[in-house]
């Protein structure tokens, strides 16, 4: 009887051991080591907002930074042409160095020039049969701010001005420019309206197109009939200003959407801004310079994650462990008081075969303003499957 009981117990133990040994190796979740959020050190400066009108500023990568807080939709004037150019370059893109297809001036183009000239609008002279490349028409529209060439581009791109304006408004809606409405291609209509924050967002997108940035950064251009035309942006090249567009001539005052390149901790950073409703273009220019000057000292480039920095950890039940470390250095432009948010994306790990070091096992998702980045994470140490003894004797894993 005792022998039988002993044999039965032995079989039970053997069965449990076999079951224990053959059970799947458990998946282990990564434990994050960094805080979910962190506030950028420092105090944001009091910005010199214009005494009249409204303004907004932003920084490349970070997006919107601040506004004067009194924004309302007013006529955009010729800043409208930024959207006109963006739509054209989206529909008929150019690479830097390309001039694009040829556009032949028609009687309609000459009539538009003559009509705009009589009403004392900003124009560039054209003649029937004159041939301009897409790049040259963009130059004529953006540099001396020719209203007639904005209409030329619209007819060439969409077949009619009305159809093109519909595309402009569709693009504005897609960009969530909620206070922006376009009634024409040039901004001659007071019904084309926006706010500094909306135009700031528009300008930051437009400047990502290298051809647009090239054109608005030119002091002058040579056109076949009009000859040499000059940029109405009178402060181009001053205080790092590399564009973008002025707008004036309506009774709500002058507007200036601008971008400036500044050196911050030995890195090039772009400050963007828009001032609207200023008494004159000169005052708008001065307001832009003051904002650039106030923002530059507060900007810094910080290493928010260093290469080989531990970001997470795997601790395996049989005693093995490894950190997940960043595969790269992450340097970001930062603004005082902004919140850096972090989230670990790493799947539970099953070590059923040897796992070498430097194996990619997840990412750290960073969000700072409009800047979003997934930082690759790799294992710091090799990992090996559990030994036979652990697999036989584990209790609750």
Are 97 and 223 in a shared domain?
Answer: yes
114 and 175 both lie in a single domain: yes
- Burial code (b: 16+ CB inside 10 Å, e: under 16) for 251-268 equals ebbbbbbbbbbbebeeee
Specify if 92 maps to a domain. yes
For residues 92 and 27, membership in a common domain is answered with no
What local confidence, expressed as pLDDT, does residue 26 receive? 86
Domain hosting residue 355, numbered range: 21-40+303-393
Tell whether 266 and 315 lie within a shared domain. Answer: no
Q: Are residues 26 and 114 in the same domain?
A: no
Give the N- to C-terminal CA distance of the chain in Å, as an integer: 36
Residues 190 and 67 in one domain: yes
Give the per-residue pLDDT at 23. Answer: 75
The DSSP output letter for 181 is: B
Q: Of 244, 278, 312, which marks where a domain is finished?
A: 278
5 assigned to some structural domain: no
| Same domain as 85, residue 30 | no
Number of domains in the chain: 2
Question: Is the domain of 110 the same as that of 216?
Answer: yes
Is 266 in the same domain as 236?
yes
Q: Which residues lie closer than 8 Å to 134 by C-beta, 6 or more apart? A: 88, 92, 94, 99, 100, 101, 103
Q: Which CATH number do you get for residue 59?
A: 3.40.710.10
Is residue 47 assigned to a domain? no
**Tokens 């922006």 — which residue?**
180
Q: Which residue has the tokens 């907004």?
A: 56
For residue 201, the tally of other CB atoms under 10 A from its CB is 24
Name 212's Cβ contacts closer than 8 Å, sequence gap at least 6.
Answer: 85, 86, 89, 138, 142, 206
**Average pLDDT along the chain, 397 residues, taken 10 residues at a time:** 66 59 83 96 95 96 94 97 98 96 96 95 97 98 98 97 98 98 97 98 98 98 97 97 95 96 96 97 98 97 96 93 97 96 95 93 96 96 89 71
Domain boundary among 278, 311, 333: 278
């Amino acid at each position: 009887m005792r022998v039988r009981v002993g044999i039965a117990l032995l079989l039970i133990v053997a069965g449990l051991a076999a079951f224990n040994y053959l059970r799947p190796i458990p998946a282990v979740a990564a434990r994050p080591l960094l805080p979910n959020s962190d506030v950028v050190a420092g105090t944001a400066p009091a910005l010199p907002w214009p005494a009249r009108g409204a303004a907004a500023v932003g920084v490349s990568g970070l997006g919107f930074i601040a506004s004067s807080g009194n924004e309302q939709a007013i006529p955009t004037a010729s800043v409208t042409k930024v959207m006109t150019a963006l739509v054209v370059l989206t529909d008929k893109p150019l690479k830097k160095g390309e001039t694009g297809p040829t556009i032949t001036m028609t009687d309609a183009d000459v009539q538009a020039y003559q009509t705009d000239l009589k009403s004392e609008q900003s124009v560039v002279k054209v003649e029937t049969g004159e041939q301009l490349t897409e790049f040259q028409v963009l130059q004529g529209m953006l540099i001396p701010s020719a209203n007639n060439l904005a209409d030329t581009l619209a007819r060439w791109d969409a077949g009619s001005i009305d159809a093109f304006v519909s595309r402009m408004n569709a693009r504005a809606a897609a960009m969530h420019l909620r206070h922006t409405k376009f009634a024409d291609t040039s901004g001659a209509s007071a019904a084309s309206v926006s706010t500094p924050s909306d135009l700031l967002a528009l300008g930051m997108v437009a400047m990502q197109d290298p051809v647009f940035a090239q054109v608005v950064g030119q002091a002058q251009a040579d056109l076949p009939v009009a000859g040499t035309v000059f940029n109405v942006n009178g402060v181009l090249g001053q205080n790092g200003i590399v564009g973008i567009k002025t707008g004036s001539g309506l009774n709500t005052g002058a507007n200036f959407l601008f971008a400036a390149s500044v050196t911050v901790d030995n890195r090039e950073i772009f400050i963007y801004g828009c001032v609207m409703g200023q008494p004159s273009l000169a005052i708008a220019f001065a307001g832009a310079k003051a904002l650039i000057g106030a923002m530059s000292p507060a900007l810094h480039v910080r290493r928010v994650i260093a290469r080989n920095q531990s970001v997470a950890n795997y601790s395996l039940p049989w005693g093995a462990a490894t950190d997940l470390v960043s595969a790269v250095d992450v340097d970001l432009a930062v603004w005082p008081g902004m919140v850096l948010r972090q989230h670990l994306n790493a799947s539970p790990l099953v070590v059923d075969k040897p796992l070498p070091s430097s194996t990619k096992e997840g990412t750290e998702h960073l969000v700072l303003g409009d800047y979003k980045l997934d930082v690759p994470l790799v294992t710091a140490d090799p990992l090996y499957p559990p030994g036979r003894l652990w697999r036989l004797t584990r209790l609750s894993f």
